[in-house]
Structure 1
Amino acid sequence: MANFHVYAAGTGSDVAHPVIRRIRIADVFDALRLGFEDFWEKPSHYVFLSLIYPIVGVFLITWTSGGNALQLVYPLLTGFALLGPFAALGLYEISRRRELKLDTSWKHALEVRNSPAMPAIAVLGVMLVALFVAWLLTAHALYGWLYGDDVPASFSGFVNDVLTTQRGWTLIVLGNLIGFVFALVTLSTTVIAFPLLLDRDVGAYAAVETSARAIIANPVPMLLWGLVVALTLLAGSLPLLVGLALVLPVLGHSTWHLYRKVVEPAPVPAAPKARRQRSM
């Protein structure tokens, strides 16, 4: 219980809830523009960092194919996006440093490990991993309900069954509806949580609560942001996941700028007044 204060309220003395701004749809696209500018400043560094995502994706496909679990390829690829807010920590840090006109060499992406908010960041990371695992278990249970213990004999055969049978279309519709719920939970709880924690050590609870308030205050722009993320991740995944090397860093940088638009800057603490010397 000694560390609960760190996770819930941060290590600093200021535990006030961050102020949420109202934003417009134009602000979402402006955040994307600024994110692309961050990426364009030194694109080779960010592409290098982001290659890990296509590599992991290919590994997941290979693993499921070899383990007679082809039915989990789609849930793994789509569910992997649930971890994106945590995986993009280094990109938020690069955007933060560029904003402060500091050195933005790629090596600084690893400096997030020195953040005083790291315990709270770790808590939210564990939460996203739990959501990812829950999504996989749910997808597996849905497949078992529709297909029983049968495993796909081949990828082409499984795709053909999914697209030409009633149970296949039931799997598509219900699977995507359930996936939408998981994505909405992730968006509502972490859309700006990780950039906020890098900027201010407010604690995990306040970061999640601020993300939820941002959604409530700006439902249309924030849902549009979620749609943009989903569509660009899909587009990046199509050419053998290689497009993610471009899409992921742009989205990561853009998330930082979206955070800046949604959350008011931290108030500057007033300078302490000089003590008046008591008259003798």
Structure 2
Amino acid sequence: MADSVQKPDRTIGNPLSWTAQRLGAGGHYISEGAHEVTGRDTAPIVLRKIDTADLKAALRAGYEDFKAFRSDVIFLCVVYPLAGLLLMRFAFDQNLLPLLVPLIGGFALIGPLAALGLYEMSRRREAGGHPGWGAAFKVLESPSAMALFLLGLGLLAVFTVWMMAAWTIYAATLGPEPPLSLLSFLGEVLGTGAGWAMAIIGTAVGFVFAALVLVCTIISFPLLLDRHVGVRRAVRASIALARKNPGPVALWGLAVVVGLGIGVVTLFVGLIFALPILGHATWHLYRRAVEPVAKGKPG
């Protein structure tokens, strides 16, 4: 008698039971994501004093990561100059010239989110791996993905409010009618009192938005990647670090502005180099600013 071979069960289950299983799995993932948003890591977040030497060391380490990942990060970051040029084209075509500078300045507001994959690449290289560009997308598989997503939504909300504020400032000074051309707009900005008022008020308000993002995110994204502390604790730790080290944090913000500024004035081509170096360096600054979790403590 031939040996009987058990075939895999390919019976289609009851649709109601299948749906219940899928809903149960979805509920599990939502529950896990909620735990990550609120945080499971109860170990204290110990912050260090940092100085200019730490900033320089972080930038050097960021440059070393850039050299190690050169072809990978250039491939990843080439999208940012293209996005910048598309935004410029959109502004010109849609008579939104007053929002051109705020759009460009918005790169600094969403920079921490844009560099998320770079943090992950530095984290994996630090752990002894040799990750390629695909490692940047492993963030999507991180247990903290939902917390990172929520914090990223917060940055996008800040960016949206900034654009609304910029338009309001223009409407209250030179607007609300759109300018006739780029040359006429530049003439009004530089040659009229209303234009100078718009530039001064817009710069001051933009500074407030940039400072807010810097203080809330200088270590929060890397901290969420490294530990399951939750969004609230990550942001609070970032704010606490800024309070503890106001001078170095302000200097770091200046370095970011200068780096991104160089990237912008080169028609965004410089962003291919500036963004990855600053992104990798931010991870190393986090390592210098936060004490590692002691062995045996939950993390």
Q: By the TM > 0.5 criterion, same fold? A: yes
Aligned to 1:108: 135
Provide the C-alpha distance between the structure 2 equivalents of 1:255 and 1:270, rounded to a whole number of angstroms. 25
Provide the C-alpha distance between the structure 1 equivalents of 2:169 and 2:44, rounded to a whole number of angstroms. 40
Which residue of the other structure, out of 211, 231, 251, is the alignment partner of 1:204?
A: 231
The question of whether the paired residues in 1 share the 8 Å contact of 2:36 and 2:230 is answered with yes
Which residue of the other structure, out of 244, 247, 250, is the alignment partner of 2:277?
A: 250
Deviates more, 1:213-222 or 1:148-157: 148-157
The question of whether the paired residues in 1 share the 8 Å contact of 2:49 and 2:289 is answered with yes
The question of whether the paired residues in 2 share the 8 Å contact of 1:17 and 1:210 is answered with no
Where 1:19 maps in the other structure, the secondary structure is coil
Q: Deviations over 1:177-211 (max 9, x none)?
A: 00000001101111111111111111100110010
Which residue of the other structure, out of 251, 254, 261, is the alignment partner of 1:227?
A: 254
Provide the C-alpha distance between the structure 1 equivalents of 2:212 and 2:176, rounded to a whole number of angstroms. 30
Provide the C-alpha distance between the structure 1 equivalents of 2:234 and 2:282, rounded to a whole number of angstroms. 14
Q: Return the offset for 1:156.
A: 1.9
Provide the C-alpha distance between the structure 2 equivalents of 1:199 and 1:76, rounded to a whole number of angstroms. 31
Say if 2:36 is the partner of 1:6: yes
The question of whether the paired residues in 1 share the 8 Å contact of 2:174 and 2:198 is answered with no
Aligned to 1:27: 54
Which residue of the other structure, out of 112, 117, 123, is the alignment partner of 1:96?
A: 123
Q: Return the offset for 1:270.
A: 6.2
Matches within 5 A, 1:1-280: 5-8=35-38, 10=39, 12=40, 14-269=41-296
Where 1:150 maps in the other structure, the secondary structure is coil
Q: Return the offset for 1:267.
A: 1.7
- Report the TM-score, using the length of structure 2 for normalisation: 0.87
- Report the TM-score, using the length of structure 1 for normalisation: 0.92
- Counting aligned pairs with the same residue, the percent is 44
Unaligned runs of 5+ in 1: 272-280
Q: How many residues align?
A: 268
CA distance 1:270–1:27, change in 2 (3 Å): closer
Q: Deviations over 1:64-99 (max 9, x none)?
A: 111111110000110132111011111001111111
Q: Return the offset for 1:249.
A: 0.2
Greater radius of gyration (CA) = 2
Deviates more, 1:73-82 or 1:262-271: 262-271
The question of whether the paired residues in 2 share the 8 Å contact of 1:80 and 1:132 is answered with no
Q: Runs of 4+ in structure 1 displaced over 6 angstroms?
A: none
Q: Deviations over 1:82-117 (max 9, x none)?
A: 111011111001111111111221111110101101
Which amino acid counterpart does residue 36 of structure 2 have in structure 1?
V
